[in-house]
Amino acid sequence: MSFSPAAGGAGRYAPSPSGDLHLGNLRTALLAWLFARSSGRRFVMRIEDLDRARDAGNAESQLADLASIGLDWDGDPVWQTDRGPAYEAAIEQLRERDLVYECTCTRRDILAAPTAPHAPPGAYPGTCRDRSDAERAAARAAIHPRLPALRLRAQDLQAPGELTQMEIPDRLLGTLHGDIDDFVLRRGDGTIAYNLAVVVDDAAMGIDQVVRGDDLASSTPRQVLLQQLLGLPTPEYAHVPLVLGPTGARLAKRDGAVTLRQLQDQGAKPEQVLTLLAQSLNLTRDLTNPEETVSATQLLERFDAELLPKTPWVWNGSAAASAISTTASERE
């Protein structure tokens, strides 16, 4: 499958089909749509379904939820499971430059191994990177039938014995800093790693603007390094604050009604949920009636990235859901 990037580029939303989208997912999707549409970009959808535990049926439900709050996209959604040859071609391109090597380490091995003095916690210590052909063959035989993972030879790219360092501008976070170790490109079970897949897909789909949750900001330096090594363009990045539950942890099902369907079961309408998200983003400043709702089109007309909050939105599920459902019942 190939793509022809259109003039003006594109933004995207890329959900994993692992269940219903919660308010945090919907809020990020809304922001990605607003950033793209307000800048004249196309907006495209990608289903990140490489993990075998994910269900295609969930993707259809997720797309229906996005459409119900007024979001649209250009073309058909792209499924990562259709993109295998493109990922393998990228790995081969890196392999030809001797930038790929086999790794048989487990997570326990990595955590137990000594690391460089200034390496971040969990950084790969380089155990397998300089093995001889005979050592690699022996290590491969020792884990058979499991296959070795493939890692990028990222360390030493700037200086011998040093992690590669990157600085990337971000529309909302300022400058992202990253020390990059030898990270995984393909897991031992054959699954392509997230960092490689998104880089290859974003370039193929003409994505020049990436808006996503700030929990993914730490992965950006690795992706930018891959873009440079593969000769691909680097998009503009904007990492948005997450939605947190009442305890301050990331929003989860334990926090009550957190999905669109759960809120609809309590009497809420999609436009009310959209308005709630807009309120959390400082985009309802023109409303004079507290019961007035807004549409995605209206939000696009008033969107101003400079007014977006820089801190997480804390969702008090019981209180907020009760307020929505009460308003809904009063209108009926």
**In the block, residue with structure tokens 């800048």:** 39
Whether residue 117 contacts residue 167, with contact meaning beta carbons closer than 8 Å, is answered with no
292 is in an annotated binding site: no
160 is in an annotated binding site: no
pLDDT of the residue at 240: 96
124 is in an annotated binding site: yes
pLDDT of the residue at 260: 93
Using alpha carbons, select from 179, 193, 236, 243 the residue that is nearest to residue 214. Answer: 243
Per-residue pLDDT of the chain (332 residues; tens, 9 = 90+): 334 444 569 999 999 998 899 999 999 999 999 999 999 999 999 999 998 656 667 899 999 999 999 999 999 999 999 999 999 999 999 999 999 999 999 888 888 877 655 667 778 988 999 999 999 999 999 999 989 999 999 987 777 777 889 999 999 999 999 999 999 999 999 999 999 999 999 999 999 999 999 999 999 999 999 999 999 999 999 999 999 998 889 888 787 889 999 999 989 999 999 999 999 998 987 665 667 789 999 999 989 999 899 999 999 865 555 556 544 444 44
Q: Domain coordinates of the chain in residue numbers?
A: 10-82+242-331, 84-198
pLDDT of the residue at 330: 44
Contacts for 62 with CB less than 8 Å, ≥ 6 apart:
15, 17, 20, 21, 25
Whether residue 182 contacts residue 148, with contact meaning beta carbons closer than 8 Å, is answered with no
Q: What is the CATH number of domain 84-198?
A: 3.40.50.620
221 is in an annotated binding site: no
Virtual torsion, Cα 218, 188, 153, 228, nearest 10 deg: -60
48 is in an annotated binding site: yes
101 is in an annotated binding site: no
CA–CA dist 262, 46 (Å, integer): 24
105 is in an annotated binding site: yes
237 is in an annotated binding site: no
Q: What pTM, to 2 d.p., does this model score?
A: 0.90
pLDDT of the residue at 113: 78
103 is in an annotated binding site: yes
pLDDT of the residue at 129: 93
The radius of gyration of the chain from alpha carbons, rounded to an integer in Å, stands at 22
306 is in an annotated binding site: no
Give the architecture (CATH level 2) of 10-82+242-331.
3-Layer(aba) Sandwich (3.40)
12 is in an annotated binding site: yes
